[in-house]
Amino acid sequence: MNLDIFKPKAPSLFGLDISSSSVKMLEIVDAGKGTYRVERYIIESLPRDAVVDGNISNLEAVADAVKRGHKKLATRTKHVAMAVPSGAVITKKIIVPAALREEELEIQVETEANQYIPFALDEVNLDFQIIGPSPTNPEEQEVLIAATRKEKVEDRVAVAESAGLKAIVMDVESYAQMAALGLVVKQLPHGGKDQNIAVVDVGANVTNVNVLRNEQSVYTREQAFGGNQLTQEIMSRYGMSPEEAENAKRAGGLPDDFQAEVQRPFMENVSMEVQRALQFFFTSTSYHQVDHILLAGGSAVIAGLDEVVHTRTQVPTVVANPFGAMQTSPRVQIRRLMQDAPSLIVACGLAMRRFDPV
């Protein structure tokens, strides 16, 4: 199966995002007049270390979680859009003559890919997309190549198949995230045009910072810091198991000193990491300001985190919610969806693939 990042697909499908802590499934449907409706979604926890650094290390456990999730999702849809981790994908922009026919373009892409990809071509899945005319020469065009090791794709396809599903789109997590964030950026003043927007995705183990400008990524940085640090602190302070700590973190019910002694220091640490990332952005690019910060990932829902980050960075900060302009079906609890929204960003970008033009 080839990477289908750039291939348009339009059958009914839902987004299936496999992260290090959970499996997220989300179905979005057309609500008419250019609007969308969140039809159903589910977040199913994964056992610890079932997915490590984006690699599926326990295929059976992940497939079981997908099977359970799909049953709870209660959809007839069996087609899914999935994504490989951004770190597992090599992307490269190349310049080719504008007059090439498709077969010639494919040969040229493979020739170029041979130079940039450190694996044999029969070990990788390859895809490409024409970006448009070269800015310097109208007789040339820019083409984006994306490649990943076959096993990264095959593992995800195998998980879907074990759960009775069929992966028909294989995207890249960062592209899916960008697609969903496009919906969030539209809600910003002036639709975010000509503004630097820092997306801070606080995952379980790593925090990704991606600065967008006019729908293009101008800077990315990954920091080894995430929500698991808060979980570890809850475990050691209150003598809980990892599962108990995760549940308590989500559902509440922790001792009175939790907010002041544990949660507040964690939020301060997040804000310091964000400030540090912005400093790196300013020193390594020609930009000197960020106009908005969007918080994503499971930890973004901690009450008050947006205010703490805003206070430290002095940049307007909001929790990313791609569902702000969408309708919801009666089976979706709106309050819960708002809480879960930051961790459903990739799943949302994948679910939106059903609306790709054919």
- Cα distance from N-terminal residue to C-terminal residue, the chain: 19
For residue 1, the model assigns a pLDDT of 47
- Nearest alpha-carbon partner for 220 in 262, 278, 266, 268: 278
Does 55 share its domain with 98? Answer: no
pLDDT value of residue 288 = 95
What pLDDT does residue 64 have?
95
Q: How many residues does the chain have?
A: 358
The domain in which residue 261 lies consists of: 189-320
Same domain, 123 and 110: yes
- Give residue 4's pLDDT: 66
196 shares a domain with 306: yes
Q: Identify the pLDDT of residue 304.
A: 93
CB 100 within 8 Å of CB 92: no
For residue 131, the model assigns a pLDDT of 85
- Residue 155 belongs to domain with CATH number: 3.30.420.40
Q: Which amino acid is at 51?
A: V
Residues 348 and 224 both lie in one domain: no
CA 318/CA 292 separation, integer angstroms: 8
Residues 68 and 97 in one domain: no
pLDDT of residue 28: 97
Q: Is 87 exposed, middle or buried (0-12, 13-18, 19+ CB in 10 A)?
A: middle
Same domain, 118 and 225: no
**Are residue 120 and residue 33 in the same domain, yes or no?**
no
d(Cα 343, Cα 354) in Å, to the nearest integer? 20
- Please indicate, yes or no, whether residues 114 and 204 belong to a single structural domain of this protein: no
Number of domains in the chain: 3
Q: Are strands 216-223 and 207-213 parallel, antiparallel or unpaired?
A: antiparallel
Same domain, 309 and 332: no
Residue 33 shares a structural domain with residue 164? yes
Structure tokens at 333: 């609890």
Q: Any idea which residue has 């008419």 for tokens?
A: 32
Same domain assignment for residues 283 and 233? yes
Identify whether the C-beta of residue 257 lies closer than 8 Å to the C-beta of residue 234.
no
Nearest-10 Cα torsion for 57, 152, 295, 356: -140
The rounded average pLDDT for each run of 10 residues, N- to C-terminus, in the chain (358 residues) is 58 91 95 93 91 88 96 95 90 88 89 84 87 88 90 93 94 90 91 94 89 89 90 93 83 87 95 95 95 93 93 96 95 93 95 85
- Domain C-terminal end among 150, 176, 198: 150
DSSP string, 292-350: EEEEESGGGGSTTHHHHHHHHH-S-EEE--TTTT-EE-TTS-HHHHHHHGGGGHHHHHH
Six-digit token string for 349: 């970008």
> How confident is the model at residue 80, as a pLDDT?
97
Structure tokens at 32: 């008419």
CATH number at residue 126: 3.30.1490.300
Whole-number pLDDT of residue 72: 96
Task: Check whether residue 146 and residue 180 sit in a common domain.
Answer: no
Taking Cα atoms as reference points, which of 319, 321, 298, 329 lies closest to residue 27? 329
